[in-house]
Amino acid sequence: MLKNVAAVLLDGVHPFELGVICEVFGIDRSDDGLPVYDFAVASAEGPTLNTHAGFSLRTEHGLERLESADLIALPAGNSYASRSYPPELLAALRRGVDRGARVLSVCAGVFVLGAAGLLDGRRCAVHWRHADELARQYPRTTVEPDVLYVDADPVITSAGTAAGIDACLHIVRKEQGPEVANAIARRMVVPPHRDGGQAQYIERPLPRSTCDTVGEVLVWMERHLDEEVTVEQLAARAHMSPRTFARRFQQETGTTPYRWILRQRVLLAQELLEATDETMDAIADRTGFGTAAALRHQFVRSLGTTPQAYRRTFRVPGAA
């Protein structure tokens, strides 16, 4: 049963990520009949710590506070991907897992878990900007760059910033049921569970050609996303054989013509969902998907959420 929670901090901690943990586990909501956690903030580097926002924090607890915790939470901090960590902290994390405690990371806090050897053989999540570096440093883990959190019990890892809320509520839901998690979410004025993953928040500009070989074809493809085209037709525009064109396209853009145009169509659909009131059928027609069902299928495959859910999240107020 989840009763005792400790957030452990390093110098340069990010206040928001720490605040997420404090908000879920550190507030007395007994007036609503909700559980009260024995919550504390502990420091791994002395009683006074700096934050990346320019102010300091002071806590009376050190690493000894982790020894009784059912859940040890690690918020993100500055340069966590490139700094070293106190050996005493890494040992305390390993002891916690060995005795049955869970560990939770928010965003770059996952690098501390990696240094403790707790990611080996497990899937994990991190902010998409850190995914490549995490995979490089800890090749024995499987990094999931498109999800909000990963539960590889007893190691729970979350993506950037607000994804920590999703992971914390997931732990509450798992331990104390959906009614408790939903009630806490309602008090926090956040959804108890978000649709999709962090793929919908990732900016992924498509690679542009650095050569002249397929540059003009790329421009033409962007202007004719609503048309069905074949590699043979594109190759003819570039005055190449289909085989040569496909090879050059891969070399210069890093992907295939089919994947390139599919991603462009999804990007255009995102823009239309954000900025217009067009129907799904109209958007499907303009983006070359043909039907709303096909649009939904490819949108979910690419972003992990539906077009309707994406529109609810990103719709620009007052857009026409």
Kindly write down the DSSP assignment for every residue of 5-70, as one continuous string: EEEEE-TTB-HHHHHHHHHHHSS--GGGT----EEEEEESS-SEEEBTTS-EEE-SB-GGGGGG-S
Q: What percent of the chain has pLDDT over 90?
A: 63
Cα-based angle 37, 103, 190 (whole degrees, multiple of 5): 60
Say whether both 228 and 111 belong to one domain: no
Q: Which among 230, 304, 223 has a CA at the least distance from the CA of 270?
A: 304
Of 199, 234, 254, the last residue of a domain is: 199
Of 172, 199, 226, the last residue of a domain is: 199
DSSP state letter for 239 = T
Q: What is the CATH number of the domain that holds 112?
A: 3.40.50.880
Residue 155 three-state SS: strand
Rounded to an integer, the average pLDDT of 137-164 is 91
Say whether both 136 and 63 belong to one domain: yes
> How sure is the predictor about 133, in pLDDT bands with cuts at 50, 70 and 90?
very high
pLDDT tens readout for residues 188-243 = 988 766 656 665 555 544 444 454 678 888 888 988 999 999 999 999 998 999 99
Cα(89)–Cα(66) distance, integer angstroms: 9
Say whether both 301 and 268 belong to one domain: yes
Q: What is the CATH number of the domain that holds 256?
A: 1.10.10.60
207 domain residue, yes or no: no
Parent domain of 265: 215-314
Of 199, 223, 251, the last residue of a domain is: 199
Say whether both 37 and 154 belong to one domain: yes
Say whether both 89 and 158 belong to one domain: yes
Say whether both 226 and 182 belong to one domain: no
206 domain residue, yes or no: no
Say whether both 115 and 246 belong to one domain: no
More confident of the two residues 174 and 75: 75
Residue for token pair 């501390």:
112
Say whether both 118 and 247 belong to one domain: no
Per-residue model confidence (pLDDT) at position 74: 97
Per-residue model confidence (pLDDT) at position 209: 44
306 domain residue, yes or no: yes
Per-residue model confidence (pLDDT) at position 212: 60
Rounded to an integer, the average pLDDT of 237-257 is 88
Does residue 16 carry a pLDDT above 80? Answer: yes
Say whether both 150 and 255 belong to one domain: no
Q: Which among 286, 292, 253, 252 has a CA at the least distance from the CA of 271?
A: 286
Residue 157 three-state SS: strand
Cα(304)–Cα(299) distance, integer angstroms: 7
Query: How many Cα atoms within 13 Å fall on the side-chain side of residue 8?
Result: 29
More confident of the two residues 145 and 99: 99
Say whether both 194 and 72 belong to one domain: yes
Per-residue model confidence (pLDDT) at position 59: 95
What's the number of domains the chain is made of? 2
Say whether both 274 and 183 belong to one domain: no
Per-residue model confidence (pLDDT) at position 49: 95
> How sure is the predictor about 33, in pLDDT bands with cuts at 50, 70 and 90?
very high
Type and span of the H or E element at 158? strand 155-158
Distances (CA, A) of 150 to 100, 153, 216: 18, 9, 42
Identity (one letter) of the amino acid at 149?
Y
Say whether both 163 and 220 belong to one domain: no
Tell me what the pLDDT averaged over the chain comes to: 89
Per-residue model confidence (pLDDT) at position 53: 92
β-strand pairing of 38-43 with 4-9: parallel
209 domain residue, yes or no: no
Are 13 and 75 in contact by the 8 Å Cβ rule? The answer is yes
